[in-house]
Structure 1
Amino acid sequence: MEKFTILTGVAAPLPMINIDTDMIIPKQFLKTIKRTGLGKHLFDEMRYTADGTEIEDFVLNRPAYRKASILVAGDNFGCGSSREHAPWALMDFGIRCVIAPSFADIFYNNCFNNGILPIRVSQADVEKLLDDAGRGANATLTVDLEKQTIQGPDGGTLAFEIDPFLKHRLLNGLDQVGLTLQHAGDIDGFETARGQNAPWLKAGTSAAA
């Protein structure tokens, strides 16, 4: 998984509450198990008409925000079904950070499994960041995970809180597989000892089998 340390990029304002996972990536695009290719369908029903024409006034279709890497949104972002395709679609589009007053728990945790930093800040801070993001191509924010700060285009800085373990995971690019591989030596040692103490057991086969 790609590490997250410092991100400087254009922030797109999406001041809507209760943006659910079906809005982020509609159900008809869930057939794939690949993490790539979903970015073009991000917010599909808000970005395109029924015939596939872009809706010009949707934020990610505006020239200034087509390469946005930060999203500033409203309360309860990522609610609805627990589809991991939602962070996949955000990541594939290029969104590495979502800032909102609150997130649905499953979506929040899925972000950390896919290299996306979800940041919870107060509603007052979101309003300030939405105002910053409204500046178009000049809406550049810098998110520093190590320092836990967000710096606005005018140089002002906001602090945010994050669980230390989740912070460690993102800083080191550790998804669930990566966390397991940190204990590869212990796992190999266990397998070796088991082979010596119970040679009749094949690796990966339980006694019940």
Structure 2
Amino acid sequence: MTPLTTIEGKAYPFGRKNVDTDVIIPAHWLKTITRAGLGKGAFETVRAEPGNVFDDPAYAGAPVLIAGDNFGCGSSREHAAWALGDMGVKAVLAPSFSDIFSGNAFKNGIATVVLPQAAIDRLMEVAKDHPVTVDLETQTVTTPFQDRFVFEMDPFRRDCLMKGQDEIGLTLAMDAEIGRYETAMADERPWL
């Protein structure tokens, strides 16, 4: 995973509530075992709507998505996080998230930032024409207009995102300790 400390740039001012994983990536895109190309299918039903934010060239490649309450509800498909990552999204801001989606996003290097609805409303306005900044180190979201919204994040998840460590990286970081344990077990219990 790529370390995330500061995510700065345009943001998709999406804002819809109760967006489920089938809206994020429809089921017919799930026939793949690779993450590459899933961004093309992300928000396919929304992209069918005229004037949608995801096909607006002003937001192309935006690293931040501003969403509504209960983002990522529905099924537990990890492909939703894969599709967002393939689009270039590194942080999603919303008043609340589905627990499963939030976990999948974290495991795929995407920060999920919970902010009050008033902050989301303000960021939706700012994002129409200006960038936003998500800073994991200071746990703030800021705008060029001196808006500063503080958020909480699980310290373990925050640390992993900032170090760019996924579960495999965490395990590999303990390689020496695991090796010592395995050697000790082989000496102590050779029949295993």
Same fold (TM over 0.5): yes
Query: Could you say what secondary structure the match of 1:169 adopts?
Result: helix
Query: Does the CA-based 8 Å contact 1:35-1:85 persist in structure 2?
Result: yes
Question: Which deviations, in whole Å up to 9, do the C-alpha atoms of 1:9-48 show, x marking residues without a partner?
Answer: 1011112100000000001111112122211111012214
Q: Which residue of 2 aligns with 1:170?
A: 161
State the distance in 2 between where 1:34 and 1:199 align. Answer: 41
Contact 1:18/1:78, CA 8 A, preserved across alignment: yes
Contact residue 60 and residue 68 of structure 1 kept, 8 A: no
Partner of 1:158: 149
**Superposed CA offset, 1:45-81 (max 9, x none):** 2214xxxxxx541101011011211111110000000
Question: What corresponds to 2:10 in structure 1?
Answer: 10
Structure 1, gaps ≥5 residues long: 49-54, 202-209
Once the two structures are superposed, the pairs formed by residues 1-209 of structure 1 within 5 Å of their partners are 1-48=1-48, 55-135=49-129, 139-201=130-192
1:127 aligned partner, one-letter code: D
Q: Percent of counterpart pairs with the same letter?
A: 48
Residue identity opposite 2:87 in structure 1: F
- Alpha-carbon RMSD across the aligned residues, in angstroms, is 1.3
Separation in structure 1 between the aligned mates of residue 11 and residue 126 of structure 2, nearest angstrom: 8
Letter in 2 for 1:119: V
The CA distance in 1 between the partners of 2:68 and 2:183, in whole Å, is 52
Which string of whole-angstrom CA distances, capped at 9 and with x for unpartnered residues, describes residues 171-194 of structure 1? 111111112222211211121122
149-158 vs 114-123, which deviates more?
149-158
- SS of the counterpart of 1:36? coil
Determine helix, strand or coil for the equivalent of 1:178: helix
Query: Any gaps of 5 or more consecutive residues in structure 2?
Result: none
Aligned residues: 192
1: distance between equivalents of 2:57 and 2:35? 25
- d(CA) in 1 for partners of 2:40, 2:16: 21
**For the pair shown, which has the larger CA radius of gyration, 1 or 2?**
1
